[in-house]
Amino acid sequence: MATHAAEMITKSANDKTGIQVLLSNIYAYAGKWDDVAKVRLHMKAKGMKKIPGSSSIEVNGVVHEFTSGDESHPENGVTALMLHEINCRLRDAGYVPDLTNVLLDVDEQEKEFLLSRHSEKLAIAFGLVSSGWGMPVRVVKNLRMCSDCHSFAKMVSKVYDRDIVIRDNHRFHFFRQGSCSCRDYW
């Protein structure tokens, strides 16, 4: 049904990148990788590009931007080590990554790696390592946060006893002690 609806919208708005990304995601959720490839080829032929996920955080008056999967930040080494520590501590606390958020035809290990490099996770790791103990971590995200990153932020707020505020393009999320102000409805 979702595929049919997206195809109907595509007929009237074929040049809209968001519609094409939605259609690609619908096909990916359904495991229709040939259809995903067709949509992505169509986007490429039309010069359409998906907006990459990015997150910004201000630390000591300087704004730092992280893009999903990007390793070009000057503090990448420290951030990667902190992210590894966070992932280990969260796993010990019961966190399991939600691999359904990775809409690519790759194996589970690759999905887990890609998911672990979402921009808000990089920004949170950088915020934890760069700000003083007890200081809130404030992140601005250009897209809607995925459900895995939402669960991740809740667990980080509990395990690290830090307030985390994330403004995605839909709403503010205030994470404290493993709960979110949106009550998991976003």
> Of 6-15, 119-128, 163-172, where does mean pLDDT reach its minimum?
6-15
What is the number of other CB atoms lying within 10 angstroms of the CB of residue 73? 17
Rounded CA separation 14/39 (Å): 11
Give domain limits for the chain: 2-45, 54-180
24 or 12, greater pLDDT: 24
Contacts of 100 (CB under 8 A, 6+ apart): 29
What's the average model confidence in pLDDT over 151-168? 96
Q: Give pLDDT, residue 16.
A: 72
Report DSSP letters for 60-112, one per residue. Answer: TTEEEEEETT---STTHHHHHHHHHHHHHHHHHTT----GGG--SS--HHHHH
> Of 10-14, 64-68, 91-95, 109-113, where does mean pLDDT reach its minimum?
10-14
Q: Give pLDDT, residue 186.
A: 63
Rounded CA separation 115/89 (Å): 17
Flag whether pLDDT at 37 surpasses 80: yes
| Angle value at C-alpha 117, between 61 and 101, nearest 5 degrees | 125
Q: Give pLDDT, residue 128.
A: 96
Confidence of residue 48 (pLDDT cuts 50, 70, 90): confident
pTM (two decimals): 0.81
Confidence of residue 36 (pLDDT cuts 50, 70, 90): confident
Confidence of residue 13 (pLDDT cuts 50, 70, 90): low
What's the average model confidence in pLDDT over 10-27? 72
Confidence of residue 161 (pLDDT cuts 50, 70, 90): very high
